């Protein structure tokens, strides 16, 4: 029943803001953080190691931990799955889709989605804090600690680290304002300020759907809640 309602809600609108989290990429082989099989449970100190504070304290050790936690060396081996492709398909069928993602793997863009707001940045590049020059993933993998080839500074990842400001919040809110429906996929909604966005959508009276394997602390905000595997649900939505 919930599935049918969700399918109709999506079919009936021409614009959707899609808020995604790590659960969208698990079918690509990238573990999430907080579910029972996630990367986070093993070591709570991970939050500290991928913080702005630790980057400044010990940039060399930071880069080792960062590459390890986000499995940066494996990134080139991961590809979009049918959840990413489903969102691109909606776009191809004429809907205005804005993906607002917490994911840092770049897979929505790789799947061809045209409007992607990378709320927590990307693993695919890093920037020199001194001269602002940008470097791509292959360069970051050449050395253990990537250094700016122009001025010798240790590069800073383009991922938003704990303690970094969020620069995309306003554009995310704007995308929600301009969309008729909000679809939230594969996120625990535990990370702030991203988790303010569903509340914001609710305050604007936007209809909303949540699809996540496990219950979240915000389930009651949504008109439709489906607790199931995303790949399975998406296949059913496409029927």
Closest CA to 178 of 8, 16, 4, 5: 16
Q: How far is CA 21 from CA 6, 32, 60, 101, in A?
A: 19, 8, 29, 6
Of 38 and 163, nearer to ligand CNA (C-beta) is: 38
Query: Which amino acids are annotated as binding site for Zn(2+), given as ranges?
Result: 128, 131, 148, 151
Applying CB under 6 A, among 61, 136, 199, 214 the residue interacting with ligand CNA is 214
Stretch that binds ligand CNA, among 17-25, 86-94, 135-143, 202-210 (CB under 6 A): 17-25
Does 187 bind ligand CNA (CB under 6 A)? Our answer is: yes
Token pair, residue 134, equals 């940008």
Backbone φ, ψ for residue 124 (5° rounding): -80, 0
Smallest separation, CB 149 to ligand CNA (Å)? 27
Site string for ligand CNA, 19-58 (x = CB under 6 A): --xxx-xxx--x-xxxx--x--------------------
Q: Catalytic annotation on 120? A: yes
Does 88 bind ligand CNA (CB under 6 A)? Our answer is: no
**What pairing do the DSSP bridges indicate for beta strands 156-159 and 121-127?**
antiparallel
Q: How far is CA 118 from CA 20, 98, 191, 201, 205, in A?
A: 10, 11, 14, 18, 24
Catalytically annotated residue among 82, 93, 108, 120:
120
Does 218 bind ligand CNA (CB under 6 A)? Our answer is: no
Which residues in 120-149 contact ligand CNA (CB under 6 A)? Answer: 120
Does 80 bind ligand CNA (CB under 6 A)? Our answer is: no
> Bridge partners of 135?
126
Closest CA to 122 of 178, 66, 84, 55: 66
């Amino acid at each position: 029943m919930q599935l049918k309602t969700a399918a109709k809600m999506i079919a009936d609108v021409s614009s959707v803001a899609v808020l995604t989290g790590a659960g969208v990429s698990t079918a690509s082989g990238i573990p999430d953080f907080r579910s029972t099989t996630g990367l986070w449970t093993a070591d709570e100190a991970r939050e500290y190691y991928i913080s702005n504070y630790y980057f400044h304290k010990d940039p060399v050790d930071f880069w080792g931990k960062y590459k390890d936690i986000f499995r940066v060396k494996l990134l080139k081996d991961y590809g979009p799955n049918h959840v990413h492709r489903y969102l691109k398909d909606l776009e191809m069928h004429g809907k205005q889709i804005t993906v607002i993602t917490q994911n840092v793997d770049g897979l929505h863009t790789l799947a061809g989605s045209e409007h992607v707001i990378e709320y927590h940045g990307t693993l695919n590049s890093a920037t020199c804090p001194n001269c602002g020059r940008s470097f791509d993933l292959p360069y970051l993998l050449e050395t253990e600690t990537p250094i700016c080839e122009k001025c010798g500074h240790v590069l800073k990842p383009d991922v938003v680290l704990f303690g970094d400001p969020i620069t995309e919040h306003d554009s995310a809110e704007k995308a929600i304002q301009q969309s008729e429906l909000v679809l939230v996929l594969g996120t625990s909604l535990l990370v702030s300020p991203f988790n303010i966005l569903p509340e914001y959508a609710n305050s604007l009276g936007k209809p909303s759907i949540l699809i996540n394997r496990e219950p979240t602390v915000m389930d009651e905000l949504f008109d439709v809640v489906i607790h199931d595997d995303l790949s399975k649900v998406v296949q059913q939505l496409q029927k």
